[in-house]
Structure 1
Amino acid sequence: MVHTKMNAAVIDTDGKVVVRKIDVPKPGPGEIMVKVGAAAQNPTDWKSIAFGKRTGAVVGCDYTGVIEEIGPDVPAGLWKVGDRASGFVQGSTWPNGAFAEYTVASAEVTIHVPDSWTVESAAHLGAAPLTAIQALWQSHDDLPTPLKPTSTPFPILVYGASSSVGQFVVQFAKLSGLHVIATSSPKNFDLVKSLGADEVFDYHDTEVGKKIKAATGGKLKYAVDNISEHGSSQIISDALSDEGGKVSLLFPYESPRAGISVSSTVAYHLLGKSFDFPFSYTEDPNLT
């Protein structure tokens, strides 16, 4: 049966989200259409609703489901109808999002889901892990990887380790052989340690930056800031070595002091499309 209409969570003219019947999207070149089985929430969802105010846009980024249609120019053998798939789209910006019965996504920025995974678990394989990969190996160009882990561990600070992206950063960093220093609320210490963190500090502690610096012997030169606000830049600055270091950000801010280089990434870059929210971006083939 061919469906032409679907239910979707849409931004209304007053900025609120409503469920409405809209047209089912059609996959374009290099795209697949997925019947959504589950969707996950991200901070970008509410922020895009609140600040983007795109009337008619479908909300939601992360999804998992089953492929129902394959668009033109998708590489042969990459996907077939009926495959389980997970990924992300730039929700709350276009008339296409994850909080809908169907979504259209990039065929090459989508993950094959094993049959053993539940839809609830698979729905998280979207923006968060890909953003974590960008933060570790796009913003930083000299860190080891899980495929080539270092045999001589050195410290990396994961600020906001219990966040959706932070949890993936901790796991990837540990698999790369790094000594993972993390921050979170005390209630999440056990969670963060279970993911691989070697040491966890309470970011509420007014001396936390200095304590991390002492714990690393003043040798910390790498950090991932998964919060990028509420004073995180100063805490990280206090924790880094006197010589400075590199910090990858989820949201841009100025370097807190001389010797510290900062670089921000956003998963939307991977979709291979220009966009004008949350900032203006023209497609860069080197990133896609």
Structure 2
Amino acid sequence: MIKLVVIGAGDHSRLNHLSALQRYVRERPGEVVLSALCDLRRDHVESVSRQYGFERSYTDIDEMLAHESPDGCIAITPVSVTKEVTVRLLAEGIPLLIEKPPGANLKEAEAINEQAKRSGIPVMVSMNRRFAPVIAHARTAVAGRRIEQIRATMLRTGRVEPEFFYGTGMHALDAMRHLAGDIGDYTARSREVEGVRWYSVEMEFIGGARGQLDVMPTCGCVSEQYELLGPDYRVQAQFMGDGSGTVNTWADGKAETKVLRTDETREFEENGAYDEAVEFIASIREKRQPYPSPEMVLQSVEICEQILIDATGAPPCYP
């Protein structure tokens, strides 16, 4: 069986990565063993490890590595220590799934990429929108068709942190790259809305498509929408952060609505975290590089960092 360890037992890890692993183990018995969970808070990590089915818990990475021999590690760490933890684990030769953004800035992301390439150890970046069912369905719907226009909107409530566009808005921009390819040029504008920056980015993709991204961190709801348009078709994919996901397709004069949810659908399934875990585990089993690699997401990091610098006069800051 594949032995996995996880670093980080905070809310994001529990709601997404640990929930995804718990479902995987339940539905595919005998494939994966959750060997150990590591978090700085002893009482917390002991409780969470029991809740999600881990065999052991630790509060120190070095202690965990001294006692465990994992086949892979999922590292859900604060952005400020992502590079440090990644380099430490690569030195142990452990395949990794690391949280996005892959570093506190472009320099750190480039360093992680170079270290991964030098070591030859597989590293995957958690850009889970690439695995979101609504986006996967939209991508399939336009297969073989030319994308002329792509639009994305990310809406949130109460996200006032200055780094939001870099740390979370990156998801939407990266999903657009997943759908339409690399970006050739872009123009970004921002404005303050009651002290919080809202962003609008116009893009030209190398493949010929044009794009528009709007990121509004404090508009009072949680939603993401992606729209693809081309000759004789329109595809609109949306999910709301509550398990609901819908894809509307208009093609060749016909309309279709696909509702990608059930009463049991949860956020970690809707946003792609589950299928992301499936890909990471498959890459370990098949001894290959998982998708996406640090190199694949570097352009997303570079553009989001520069947009933030241009808007605020300062790079991302993660204490």
TM-score (norm 2): 0.35
Looking at secondary structure, tell me which structure has more helix per residue.
Answer: 2
> Per chain length, whose mean CA-contact separation is higher, i.e. which structure has more relative contact order (CA < 8 Å, sep 6+)?
2
TM-score (norm 1): 0.38
